[in-house]
Structures are given as structure tokens and as C-alpha cells.
Amino acid sequence: MRLTILRVVTKEKLKMFCPIVLLLIVALSTASDRWDPDGQVQYSPGSACIVLSAPHGGRQRPDWISDRRAVGCETADGDCRWNATCPGSSCRALLYGDPNTREIATAVRDYLTEDGLRPHLIANHMDRMKMDPNRGGPTLSEGIQCDPAAKRVYDSYHGFVRQAVDAVRRSCRGRGLLLDIHGQHHPQNWTEIGYLLRKSQLNSGQYPAASTSIRGLVGRSSRDSASSLSARKFIIGDRSFGSLLNSFGYRVVPSASVPAPETGGYYSGGFITRQYGSLTGGEFDSMQVEITQAVMYASEAERDRFSRHLAATIGLFARANGYA
């Protein structure tokens, strides 16, 4: 019902409507959004087998959470104390977020919805200066730095991601794809796709499926063949995610045209990609998307164009690989 209204009322027609009708439509389209009790994390449930996560695009810096520190004191057991500094063995935290990536993820969600694939979207509105949801396990303390309020918002973020992943698994025969949306500040003007393979593995042409966040996808497609479980075709093949995005005119690593980062900067995937993908089994896959800063800081029109192309890439990839 709601979708029908939105589809029929095109942007042109909207302009002619009185503001009250417009407000009503906006209210209807966001009525299903859920928020954490602190108003920092937004979950917009979807209906497709796709989950978008935007952990580093927040700008809110509420004063009831202390700022994270860039430097802590490494303890003898390799942990880090963030309320202390010490000479020598210090540990460091990244505090600066990925501007505009929440807006890009939201635009990608809207374009995918137009395409009939409404993804789930979890968006962090809190600045990375206060809390980092892409840390966890042994690096949890770096993300929340002992602040109980930060831990509460952190738990809300992961609670929503878990809800979305579970909803997708139930409705998509256990399958699904999570894309964790980031922006990178490396000198290379390329978008980095992270499957948890290290830079050195990509540089030496090694693609062990069992070490990737798309292990489920590779296993599914190789079930009937005797081929060793190499993820090569899914990572640098002509129909890989990187190559599909590349076909819209962006440099992407890894892809058929740039198979490896060589000496360039490259992020292989963080905690969220590791936690929710198929590295440890199952058919729910994940990847990290690190958008080039040339797009992240571009004009709104340029960002919108990229969002449309990223959405088209996700749609093509999802339909070709059994996520839609």
C-alpha cells in the first residue's frame, strides 16, 4: 500500500501537492523505522535479502558519552587501557569517521527500493569520536573505551544488525548479503571491497574461500564441481562485485582491472564484516565497501550518482548470485 503510493506519486507530481500531503507521505515512509532508546541508531527494516550497515557516518556527539581517546596504554596481556597513557608500549584508536557514508547508504537503500529490492538499513548517527561499532571481540575496548553509555549504543547497533540478519535468514532460505559501507582516506582514488583477504594474499593471487566473508557463496556455486574452493572468480572475475562496480566507471580494488592493491592502501574488512558474514560457516555473506574519498567529499550530485551506481551493482550482484 505504502509502496504503491510512493511509486505512483513521482517527484514531479509531489511538487504540486500541498505540504501537508507531502509530510504525511514522509511520515508514512519512515513510520516503520526503529530507534534505540538513546536516539543514536536507526534501523529501517527491509524486505530483500540484503542488509546495509553504515557504522561510521554519524555526526552526533552527545555530551553524556566521553570522547574516545586516540592513544591508550598497552597492558602486559596485549589489552589496552584507554584511561591511561604510558611511555613506550601504547596502542592507538581511529577516531575520525567517514563523512557522508550514512547519506550514501540511505540513497543506495532508496535506489534499491525503486528497483524492487528494499534492503534493511542500520545507520549509526553517533560520531565515531564517541563510539565505534566496527570494533569487537578483542578490539571491543577500543570501540567503547570503558564508557557504559557507549556500550549501550554499541549494543543497540549490533542488536539491530542481528535482527536484520535473522529476518533475512528466515525469509531467504538462510542466505543473505550484508554490505558494510565505509569511506577510505588512502591516496589511491579507488573503492576497496573487503572480503577479509589480506593485502598480501591479493597481491600473491591467493583466494582461499574458507578465509573469506563470502565463503557461503563460493561453496554454494562450487558444490557440484571438483574445483578447489577458490574464491578467485568471485573476487576478480568479470562478474565479481568489483568488476560490476568498475563497469560504471569507478576504479575498484579488487576487480578484473585492478586485481590487487600492490603497495596502495587497502582495508580487508573489519569486525562487522567478520562477525556477520560466512567466514565461520552458513550462507549469509558479507563484504566491506570502502568508498574513495574522491566520492565521499564530492558534490551532492556526484555522491548521488555514485549511490545510484552502487545500488545498481548490488542489484546485479544480488540477482546473479541467489540473494534476490
Ligand X SMILES: *[C@@H]1O[C@H](CO)[C@@H](O)[C@H](O)[C@H]1NC(C)=O
Residues in contact with ligand X by CB under 6 A are 81, 83, 146, 189, 249-251, 294
- Shortest Å distance, C-beta 240 to ligand X: 17
Of 66 and 206, nearer to ligand X (C-beta) is 66
Of 111 and 250, nearer to ligand X (C-beta) is 250
- Shortest Å distance, C-beta 216 to ligand X: 30
Of 79 and 114, nearer to ligand X (C-beta) is 79
Residue with cell 562450487: 222
Alpha-carbon distance 143 to 281, whole Å? 26
Helix (H) or strand (E) holding 56: none
Cβ neighbours of residue 184 closer than 8 Å, sequence gap 6 or more: 98, 192, 265, 267, 290, 291, 292, 293
Alpha-carbon distance 172 to 287, whole Å? 18
- Shortest Å distance, C-beta 142 to ligand X: 12
Of 171 and 257, nearer to ligand X (C-beta) is 257
Of 211 and 293, nearer to ligand X (C-beta) is 293
- Shortest Å distance, C-beta 249 to ligand X: 6
- Shortest Å distance, C-beta 48 to ligand X: 27
Of 69 and 81, nearer to ligand X (C-beta) is 81
- Which residue, 60, 53, 61, is CA-closest to 274? 53
Alpha-carbon distance 51 to 122, whole Å? 8
- Which residue, 180, 119, 127, is CA-closest to 153? 127
Q: What are phi and psi of 90, to 5 degrees?
A: -105, 160
Q: Please count the CA atoms within 13 angstroms of the CA of 128 that sit on its side-chain side.
A: 22
